[in-house]
Structure 1
Amino acid sequence: MTTSYPSIAIIGIGSVTVTIIHALYQNKIPFRILCQNQNRFQTLYSHPIRFQGPTGQIVTIDLKNHLTMIHDNKESYDYIFVGCKNQNLEDYLKDTKPFLNANGKWILIQNGIPESNFDSYKDKILGGVVGWNTQTLPDGTYFQSNVGSLILGNVTKTKPDPIWYQLLPPHIPVVLTDQLEGYRWHKLAINSIINGLAASKQLSLGELFLNKKFREEALETLTEIKTVMSQKKITEQVVPGSFPIQKLGSGLGSLPTWIRHLILIFLGLKYYRIRTSMVQDLDHGRKTEIDYINGEVIKMANRLGIPVPKNEWIVSTIKKREENKKN
């Protein structure tokens, strides 16, 4: 019996979507890449992608037969992965809306809480919380440094179609959840330090977490977010391979301080050279997504009347760095 797979498209080719493309490609699942830029189309058509997974094996992915310029697309899809920065998300949804099937859904894999900005589309959105880190190496190879899950959840607090268990594993483990908000806030808290705090210092994770003062700042940042989550009555859901914010942040349920420092030291040693996406944005003079990471924390804290000075400092420091890069 032949399995009937949903129709899948991807718009926006970057480190996260390439990791998903690798899993679909290896599993021989049909997919289509919608290109907006003719030069990007030609590059992808002419040059296969090199992808290196956590095992070290390098795979060459020829996308020639998967590419369509978006203005030439005549198909409609059950799912469209949207791979872009939060600040471009509204435009990407508008551009791809004509290509969604009647019951189709966008899959938002951005950091932060992207679903919260598109309430009118809530029945058309799947949230995708990414648990891996993939970077582009100097030679152009996409390098996935850790095994990580894709957590999928409907905004309507129901679990997605179990077909996803057949589409991405074993290359990407899948978790289907009806508790998307709990995973989103857990990942938001982690990103507030590995992206936000690291970018405020413009350091690799090793340089950040092997410094005692910076570890203290990280724990302070997490404590503020833990307080916001508690006030908002969010039940934390821990991304596989990660560590609970409830135990890392100070207060009720926290681990002893020395153990919390030890956990951050371990992360620093394990990912010593990793410069996360926001750090790389500053390295290359690009605008960061800080408004959608620590900025989201500030927005919610202001609504609740909770002070979050460390998160505010991170946001203001990164905005100053962005301005300095511009001038």
Structure 2
Amino acid sequence: MAPKKIIPKSTGDSSSGKHWVIAGAGSIGLWLGAHLVAAGERVTFLARPRIISKVQTHGVHLTSWQGKDMRIPAEKLVMTADEACLAEADVVLISVKSKDTLTIGEQVARYIKPNTCVVSAQNGINNAAALKNIFMSHNVGSLMVPYNVMPMDEGRYHCGTEGNLVIDSRFSDLAEVIRRADLTIKTADDMHEVLWGKLLLNLNNPLNALSGVPLVEELADRRWRKQLADCMDEVLNILGELGIQPKVQSPVPASFIPKILRLPTFLFKLVAGKMLQIDPLARSSMWEDISLGRPTEIDYINGEVVRYARSLGMEAPINERVISDIKRLEQTSVK
């Protein structure tokens, strides 16, 4: 039995009566959790000492390219590196990198109550399934986060893209809480289709890292768009074999996106102007990982494509090449 530890108490007044624990309070975890705190929810952030120190010094300052400007002072944010905080959780929101899913899952399993909900807010396709294998008797599901949030100086976290959060329809009560926290969210019955839709768009993450330029500049370059279209075609072929229709946050079906990407640039800008309505300085999270010398999630994005292709006796050579290019870049940058 684990030794008894002191669990920090939240200072905020709860509006839903739920105690949220954000397990893996990086950029996305802080973005979501700070919104909940501002809405009066009781939230504890389980984070690394480096993040805790940063938040205790600066608080959290949320900004977006669309004009959001929200400050949460440090005294309103309950930060801890003590995993015993999980014992009080009604909802555990997991936002660690996909490679750490099993590790955090085992930590959570040591503490949580039988009726605690576990929600994966991660990149990749199979994190919720992996967590469900650990939490056989718990309610486990996914929250799809469509945007990218970058850490800036002095506790600022900046959202440079847009989109609606999507959560499993079994968590409609949580969706309502999140909606009251000034975050747009929808529910979906088949999150697997939603997660494949996100992965389809996330194929641009490594290409943006390889390009070394902001997203707007990369998408304005037809050479990069054609490479992205080739990667997407491989995924769409795989999904066709699996009978899966990916759900993307786009006014056109997923199957049309590669065709639009391959258009000459002047036509692309006319047809897909909304794709370029992002912060001119925004870059992908994989670019951030490379720039900070951290391992990337390439194995859980393009790597998933290759694994599914092989399981079906198919090939995905374009995605394999992107993986190799990113692995080489990691070798020169990981500290």
- In which range does the TM-score fall when normalised by the shorter chain? 0.7 to 0.9
Structure 1 gap segments, 5+ residues each = none
CA deviation digits over 1:3-43, x for unaligned, max 9? 64322111222221122123212211111222453x54344
Amino acid corresponding to residue 158 of structure 2 in structure 1: F
Runs of 4+ in 1 over 6 A off after TM superposition: none
Which residue matches 1:274?
282
Q: Kindly provide the CA deviation profile for residues 147-198 of structure 1, in whole angstroms up to 9, marking residues without a partner as x.
A: 4322111xxxx632434213334621121221100100000010012x0222
Distance 1:40 1:201 in 2: 29
* AA partner of residue 222 (structure 1): M
Aligned residue pairs, count:
316
Shift of 1:264: 5.7
Query: Is residue 209 from structure 1 mapped to residue 219 from structure 2 by the alignment?
Result: yes
Q: 1:24 and 2:36 equivalent? A: yes
Distance 1:40 1:22, change over 3 A: closer
- Look up the match of 2:320: 312
| Structure 1 residues 101-133: Cα deviation after superposition (integer angstroms, max 9, x where no partner) | 212122111111122434514654221110222
1:174 to 170, 185, 202: 185
The residue that corresponds to 2:239 in the other structure is 229
CA distance in 1 between partners of 2:52 and 2:153 (Å): 21
User: What SS is found at the alignment partner of 1:143?
Assistant: strand
Aligned ranges 1:1-327 → 2 under 5 Å? 4-37=16-49, 40-65=51-76, 66-71=78-83, 73=85, 75-113=87-125, 114-120=127-133, 121=135, 123-153=138-168, 159-169=170-180, 171-193=182-204, 195-239=205-249, 244-249=253-258, 257=263, 261-262=268-269, 267-268=275-276, 270-326=278-334
Question: For 1:179 and 1:102, how far apart are their aligned partners in 2?
Answer: 25
Please give the alpha-carbon distance, in whole angstroms, between the structure 1 residues aligned to 2:334 and 2:59.
Answer: 34
TM-score (norm 1): 0.85
Q: Let me know the Cα RMSD of the aligned residues.
A: 2.8
Residue type of the alignment partner of 1:87 = K
1:214 is paired with a residue whose SS is: helix
Corresponding residue SS for 2:142: strand
Deviates more, 1:174-183 or 1:269-278: 269-278
Aligned residue for 1:81, secondary structure, equals strand
Letter in 2 for 1:312: E
TM-score by length of 2: 0.84
What is the rounded CA distance, in whole Å, between the counterparts of 1:255 and 1:43 in structure 2? Answer: 40
State, as a whole percentage, how many aligned pairs show the same letter. Answer: 21
1:73 maps to a residue whose letter is C
Check conservation: 1:215, 1:264, Cα contact below 8 A: no
Matches of 1:214 and 1:256 in 2, distance apart? 10
> In structure 2, how many angstroms separate the alpha carbons of the residues matched to 1:118 and 1:299?
19
Instruction: Give the CA deviation at 1:265.
Output: 6.6
269 and 31 in structure 1: CA distance in 2 versus 1, 3 angstrom threshold: closer
Whole-Å separation in 1 of the counterparts to 2:159 and 2:261: 30
Residue matched to 2:11: none
The gaps in structure 2 that reach 5 residues or longer are 1-13
Instruction: Give the match's secondary structure for 2:200.
Output: helix
> Which moves more between the two structures, 175-184 or 258-267?
258-267
| 3-state secondary structure, aligned to 2:115 | strand
Checking the alignment, whether the CA contact within 8 Å between 1:8 and 1:30 is kept in structure 2 is yes
The DSSP-based 3-state class of the residue aligned with 2:42 is coil
- Are the structure 2 counterparts of residues 255 and 196 from structure 1 closer, same or farther at C-alpha, using a change threshold of 3 Å? closer
Deviations 1:65-95 (A, max 9, x none): 5234415537422211112111112111112
